[in-house]
Amino acid sequence: MENEKDAVVSRNFIENIIDHDLAEGTYDKICTRFPPEPNGYLHIGHAKSIILNSGLAKEYNGTFNLRFDDTNAAKEKVEFVESIKEDVEWLGADFGDRCYFASDYFETMYEKAVLLIRKGLAYVSDLSADQIRETRGTLTEPGTNDPNRERPIEENLRLFEEMRGGKYGDGEMVLRAKIDMSAPNINMRDPILYRVAHIHHHNTGDKWCIYPMYDFAHPLEDAIEGVTHSICTLEFEDHRPLYNWVVEHTDWEHPPKQIEFAKMYLTNVVTGKRYIKKLVEEGIVDGWDDPRLVTIAALRRRGFTPESIRMFIELSGVSKSNSSSDYAMLEYCIREDLKMKKARMMAVLHPLKLIIDNYPEGESEMLTADNNLENPELGTRQIPFGRELYIEQEDFMENPVPKYKRLYPGNEVRLMHAYFVKCVGVDKDENGQITAVHCTYDPETKAGSGFTGRKVKGTIHWVPAREAFRATVRLYENLIDESKGVYNEDNSLNLNPNSLTIVEGAALEPSLRDAKPGDSFQFVRNGYYAVDSRDSKDGAPVFNRIVTMKSSFKLPAQS
């Protein structure tokens, strides 16, 4: 097999390991898991782990577990538990009734710690955290033995039971594994297994005042659940010897196997929980699901789809080498997913009135429009058309620049799904600002009539002025100023002051008034938009821009 460190083989290197384990009879059935700590909302990087683990379980007809690593009660909340469940389900990862909590296993973990003490492989220490750190050594120097290392087994059992009983204060006692203080891997230098922490836990209440450390709890959780392949990111590679030590010495018939892969890095975005938490607490964003973030909840609220995120993960690949994916590729994926699925509606974000002088006053007609020319299955819709319309301000220029093909005095364009119109004049206010454009229309040029008498170079969209739905539209850009990078020299974030623009009074097709939270559309020539799932304006839908229409991003050529 190729060197795992150098090969970028999508998911194949993990599949090869699983294939080998099944062929050798190491495992009869595959079980994977996604084990988040409920101390914040999940982000796009977590989506990679969710999709990878659940996808492998499905591929091998195995099982996939959702398990909360809730061993650090000080940072965990029920709010985060519920948000994570929603995110995992939304991404289509099927955990069935297999939603577990590490805290459900605290009694078993305690028993396994007692087993290690009885084997002479763990001891209670009264050294402080600073003393333990000082005696651990460095990458080039071995550590020194804890003075408590040779406590008699019976004394360790008594002290550990007293720790559980609440006799000691926070940080006063710890349980350490007895491994090797001169091990080249610092993680193996008598790591802490349990700490005293008098903290109320969201799941177990005040039952426990000692809590297992992650490196002790995690392998036990996997073993208890029958996980076969514990797939995690590369930063845990140096922890694998300790993972293996724990499962080996706590007596499991079929111990799980840890496999590491490179985590998801995305350019010009904020994924660190502490940074997101700070943005939320300082009111720079309006919550963990602010559409400018790349939490899964934020992407869902903005209008991204599970299919687009799965496509992005697939294109990014799975490897043993760290690399970054371009945020523009994520935008490419949502465009690709929506372009054939969504109706192409007309919306005028910055309205300018257009008056058709020769259209009969007081009359209107219904025009037929294709919902999506590339997908006839989406059918057609009816749009009211009358004497007064709204067009985009940028679609008219009184003094046009060279090669301008839209509307200007004396020029003729097609109104999308409607007629040819020719500009014959403008109205201005006392400040000289244009308030309306006057045109005439040619009734013989109705769309679909087969008119071939002449051609025009420009087509512009519009909405009927009388029936238009006036809405609030939010235009999002990257939260980070991409020209400066993510972080300043002081490690603060380079925020983009134009990351959110709120457009009030946009004029939309009247049918969009009935759009429901989560519905999404293409606004022709403008971008893809979704109805905000949380906010409305006076009971009416608010539209979030998911992504603009075009990007310079192109998929790399396939070799």
The pLDDT score that the predictor gives to residue 556 is: 63
* pLDDT of 366 strictly over 80: yes
Distances (CA, A) of 464 to 381, 382, 417, 439: 14, 12, 12, 15
- Tell me how far apart the alpha carbons of residues 496 and 142 are, in angstroms, rounded to a whole number: 47
User: Under CATH, what is the fold of the domain 12-261?
Assistant: Rossmann fold (3.40.50)
- The residues, ordered by sequence, that sit 6+ positions from 436 with a Cβ below 8 Å of its Cβ are 352, 353, 354, 355, 426, 427
Do 14 and 259 touch, CB atoms closer than 8 A?
A: yes
pLDDT at 44: 93
pLDDT band at 42; cut points 50, 70, 90: very high
Residues 6+ apart with CB under 8 A from 22: 30, 60
Going by C-beta distance under 8 Å and a sequence separation of 6 or more, which residues neighbour residue 512?
345, 347, 469, 471, 521, 541, 543
Type and span of the H or E element at 506? strand 500-508
One-letter-per-residue 3-state SS of 116-183 = HHHCCCEEEECCCHHHHHHCCCCCCCCCCCCCCCCCCHHHHHHHHHHHHHCCCCCCCCEEEECCCCCC
Is the pLDDT score of 9 beyond 60?
A: no
Give the model confidence (pLDDT) of 426-440 as tens digits: 999 999 999 999 999
> Any idea which of 287-291, 304-308, 491-495 has the lowest mean pLDDT?
491-495
Average pLDDT over residues 36-56: 94
3 state SS of 78: helix
Of 281, 137, 102, the residue nearest 208 (C-alpha): 102
Say yes or no to pLDDT of 227 above 60: yes
Q: Which residue has the tokens 């020194």?
A: 144
Residue range 293-342, pLDDT digits in tens: 999 999 999 999 999 999 999 998 888 888 788 899 999 999 999 999 99
| Percentage with pLDDT > 70 across the chain | 96
- Which of 52-56, 72-76, 428-432 has the least mean pLDDT? 72-76
- Domain limits, the chain: 12-261, 345-464, 469-548
Topology adopted by domain 345-464: Ribosomal Protein L25; Chain P (2.40.240)
Residue 507: beta bridge partners? Answer: 348, 470
| 2 pLDDT higher than 60 | no
Q: What is the pLDDT of residues 131-172, one digit of tens each?
A: 999 999 999 999 999 999 999 999 999 999 999 999 999 999
Measure the N-to-C terminal CA separation of the chain; round to a whole number of Å.
Answer: 21
Confidence of residue 207 (pLDDT cuts 50, 70, 90): very high
Does the pLDDT of residue 5 top 50, yes or no?
no
Residue corresponding to tokens 């005439």? 440
More confident residue, 7 or 514: 514
pLDDT recorded at residue 266 = 86
**Do 345-464 and 469-548 agree at the fold level?**
yes
Stated pTM of the model? 0.90
Reference 149, options 169, 114, 182, 179; nearest CA is 179
| Percent composition of the chain: helix, strand, coil (DSSP 3-state, to 5) | 30, 25, 45
CB count, 10 Å around CB of 23? Answer: 8
Tokens of 228: 């076969």
Q: Mean of the pLDDT values across residues 345-351? A: 98
Classify domain 469-548 at the CATH topology level: Ribosomal Protein L25; Chain P (2.40.240)
**How far is residue 203's CA from residue 206's CA, in Å, rounded to a whole number?**
9
Residue 552, pLDDT score: 63
